[in-house]
Amino acid sequence: MRSRPMASMWLATVLFVSGRIPAVGQERAKEVAGNPAAVQKVRSGRLTEAKASWWGFDPVDATEALQAALDSGARRVVVENMRRPWIVRPIQVPSDIEIVFEKGAVVEAKRGEFKGSNDSLFNIILRRNVSLIGYGAVLRMHRADYDRPPYAKAEWRHVLNIKSSQNVKIYGLTLAESGGDGIYLGTAKQGATNKNIHIKDVVCDRNYRQGISVITAEDLLIEDTVMKDTAGTPPAAGIDFEPNYAAEKLVRCVMRRCVVEDNAGVGYAFYLPNLTGASEPISIRLEQCIARGSNRSAFAFTLARPNPDGPARGLAEFIDCTFDGGSGPAVTIRSKPAAGCRLRFVRCRFIRPDADRPTTPVIQFLTRANETEDQGNVSFEDCVVEDAVERPLMKFNDWAGGFRLIDVTGTFIVRRNGMETRHVITPKWLDAIRFGQTFKRFPRYETKNKRWAPILEDWSSAGLQLRPFSLRHEATFVLYARRSDRVRFTLRSLQVGKYSGRPIEVTVVTPRGKRLRLGRVPFQQEATLCFEASETGLYRVPVDCGANKVQLVSASHPACVSGESGRIRLIGATGDFYFYVPADTKEFGVRIFGEGQEAVGAAVFDPDGKQVWSRPAITSPEQFVGQPGRVHQGKVWRIQFRRPTTGPMEDFYLQLQGIPPFLSSSPKTLLKPVP
């Protein structure tokens, strides 16, 4: 880092922490009346550079003056060091402006304001060509205030709230004590990312949720920036890359010479399960970045959850970085299917100075219970481990059961107690470091290139009554229809606990993949939707109800819940459910597991009604392997979900393996493959 900007940031931080302003500002600043003549010149276009104080300065509330200066049309506005903070309510930044904060200037959130859960200090929403430059200046809020009444608990009161904007520069500022993030890069308009964002020589200090959150960005460059002492609410990371939707982007995101330190959460966090194989491939690069101090973990990367489009593709590279300290592994890689994006660690240093946790590995791979694929596609090239004690270099905890680490390659130099050894990763060694159950593996049952028909050849709408049951977060319903049929179905939105909700947007995907928007289901209400079938085949209805739940109440045509994404997520569902086992199926699997410590009881019954398997309380994954033999006719099997004998029952998962992944509460609405 260059010494002058960092020295300026150090000075600004010292002044901020101590609460002191230079001696010339010890006396109370008086209200400034402003400069009406200069204001008129700005309005007429004769001046393109202005000082904010020309619109006045009120030391109690300077919002109107500062906002008027920004809205004046001046291309450059200087926010002076008034020897007292500019006390403001939320400020809206226009396009085509450079805001320069003088050295020692402080803009401070007004106490008692910012009651809205999204109220942020500076808002750059759907703007372009904006620069905020402030070497030695501080923008600060009041983190402790927002964490108690009369404030509603929220995590979105940011210092800089940047959404769907282009050509934005943030240089030299200290961004402190937000009720959310120091900088938030989100979206204000569907499909509109943040593009060409440059953050340099910035200090994000003592923010509530993150130092920086990157929800969506293209051509993002962060240089010589410090993110420290984040604490208040999870994730509490130094920086967190976390898209909310598959259409959002992490494209050409680069960090150089940045530092994360002493954050309550992870230093560098990447949480990408909302991106899929249909998203634009990621491209992330960190160069000469450092994690140090008491971050919970220096680095964490979570990629995927099962979905029909597979995991996000692309490349994330970490070049000449140092991951030091923390109470957990130096690097945690979770839910990283080998089919997903590649991770490269090149000439990185992993430092573990503590001797308190000798069983904690330097690098930790993890699966979650709902995984469906082998993990890996990670390389460690000429990396160095510096450790104080003998500990595992790497572990793979396979909580899903039955998966392997593949395509994990590289070399390490391990330095410990003055000794240096070289370690080469091999497939045999990767198998040896795996911990977890081993289940029977089944190839994914392909549904897309098959013809389908209802299990009842002679069916009518009157005979297709369903028993509604609840599915949580994301679900896909599958309906069979003939060409020109008028299809009707009813969905019900239900609340889980006290989670807030939104309408469920409903589309139908035709057999050829065309998407048709059908409408929406209001939160906590029912709605009947309909469409005309353009061809004969399966119509899929994917829905996302957030943290709440959805039910299929009725359908005019044979309908099931689909597990094509890899699993079906249910909540509180009990009773009998049915699935179809095609003719000549030698073996198939039924895999069940609870969410966290939540449990479910389950039993499986063969086509003759005989119970062939049961478990009273399932939390971690359990698998039933069915062996129907060479039966030359497909059969309907039954699974019964029960309240567990121990533990709470709420969320749980079902995977149908090696057979059609369609489940129904009525055997009459099942679907079968046909030649």
100 and 193, same structural domain? yes
Backbone angles phi, psi at 24, to 5 degrees: -65, -15
> Closest by alpha carbon to 540, among 671, 373, 651, 442?
671
83 and 20, same structural domain? yes
Whether 354 has a pLDDT exceeding 70, the answer reads no
Query: What whole-number distance in Å separates Cα of residue 620 and Cα of residue 601?
Result: 12
Q: Are 585 and 673 in contact (CB under 8 A)?
A: no
Residue 445 lies in a domain: no
Q: Are 298 and 325 in contact (CB under 8 A)?
A: yes
Biggest CA–CA distance in the chain, Å, is 94
109 and 88, same structural domain? yes
497 and 414, same structural domain? no
Query: What whole-number distance in Å separates Cα of residue 377 and Cα of residue 366?
Result: 14
pLDDT number for residue 277: 93
Q: Per DSSP, what are the bridge partners of residue 477?
A: 541, 561
The DSSP bridge pattern shows strands 375-387 and 322-324 to be unpaired
Query: What whole-number distance in Å separates Cα of residue 298 and Cα of residue 270?
Result: 11
Query: What whole-number distance in Å separates Cα of residue 574 and Cα of residue 594?
Result: 14
The DSSP annotation for 593-658 comes to: EESTT--EEEEEE-TTS-EEEEEEEE-S-EEEEE---S-SS-EEEEEEEE--SSS---EEEEEEES
Residue 270 lies in a domain: no
Q: Which of 438, 463, 483 is the last residue of a domain?
A: 438
Q: Which pTM does this prediction carry? A: 0.84
Question: In this predicted model, what pLDDT tens digit does every residue of 489-540 receive, in sequence order?
Answer: 999 999 999 898 999 999 999 999 999 999 999 999 999 999 999 999 999 9
Q: Are 212 and 183 in contact (CB under 8 A)?
A: yes
- Number of domains the chain contains: 3
Query: What whole-number distance in Å separates Cα of residue 302 and Cα of residue 365?
Result: 10
User: How sure is the predictor about 162, in pLDDT bands with cuts at 50, 70 and 90?
Assistant: very high
378 and 405, same structural domain? yes
386 and 286, same structural domain? yes
Residue 517 lies in a domain: yes
Question: In this predicted model, what pLDDT tens digit does every residue of 101-152 receive, in sequence order?
Answer: 999 999 999 999 999 999 999 999 999 999 999 999 999 999 999 999 999 9
Q: What kind and span of H or E run contains 363?
A: strand 363-367
The most confident of the ranges 3-7, 258-262, 439-443, 631-635 is: 258-262
96 and 203, same structural domain? yes
Backbone angles phi, psi at 65, to 5 degrees: -65, -50
User: How sure is the predictor about 541, in pLDDT bands with cuts at 50, 70 and 90?
Assistant: very high
> Closest by alpha carbon to 417, among 461, 375, 387?
387
Q: Which of 205, 233, 264 is the last residue of a domain?
A: 264
Q: What percent of the chain has pLDDT over 90?
A: 80
Query: Per the structure block, which two tokens stand in for 560?
Result: 């099931």
469 and 381, same structural domain? no
Question: In this predicted model, what pLDDT tens digit does every residue of 660-675 receive, in sequence order?
Answer: 999 999 999 999 999 8
| Buried-exposed string 128-139: b where 16+ CB fall within 10 A, e elsewhere | ebbebbbbbbbb
The DSSP bridge pattern shows strands 568-571 and 651-657 to be antiparallel
Query: What whole-number distance in Å separates Cα of residue 480 and Cα of residue 537?
Result: 6
Whether 462 has a pLDDT exceeding 90, the answer reads no
Query: What whole-number distance in Å separates Cα of residue 395 and Cα of residue 390?
Result: 14
User: How sure is the predictor about 163, in pLDDT bands with cuts at 50, 70 and 90?
Assistant: very high
Residue 444 lies in a domain: no
Query: What whole-number distance in Å separates Cα of residue 98 and Cα of residue 415?
Result: 49
CATH number for 23? 2.160.20.10
CATH number for 498? 2.60.120.380
Residue with more model confidence, 353 or 604: 604
Q: Which domain holds residue 174?
A: 1-264
User: How sure is the predictor about 89, in pLDDT bands with cuts at 50, 70 and 90?
Assistant: very high
User: How sure is the predictor about 23, in pLDDT bands with cuts at 50, 70 and 90?
Assistant: very low
The letter for the amino acid at 106 is V
Q: How far apart are the first and last CA of the chain?
A: 67
606 and 485, same structural domain? yes
157 and 189, same structural domain? yes
196 and 295, same structural domain? no
Whether 30 has a pLDDT exceeding 70, the answer reads no
540 and 409, same structural domain? no
Residue 446 lies in a domain: no
Residue 271 lies in a domain: no
Query: What whole-number distance in Å separates Cα of residue 195 and Cα of residue 166?
Result: 5
Those residues with Cβ within 8 angstroms of residue 512's Cβ, 6 or more apart along the chain or in another chain:
535
Q: What percent of the chain has pLDDT over 70?
A: 95
Query: What whole-number distance in Å separates Cα of residue 241 and Cα of residue 250?
Result: 8
* The residue count for the chain: 675
Query: What whole-number distance in Å separates Cα of residue 504 and Cα of residue 400?
Result: 30
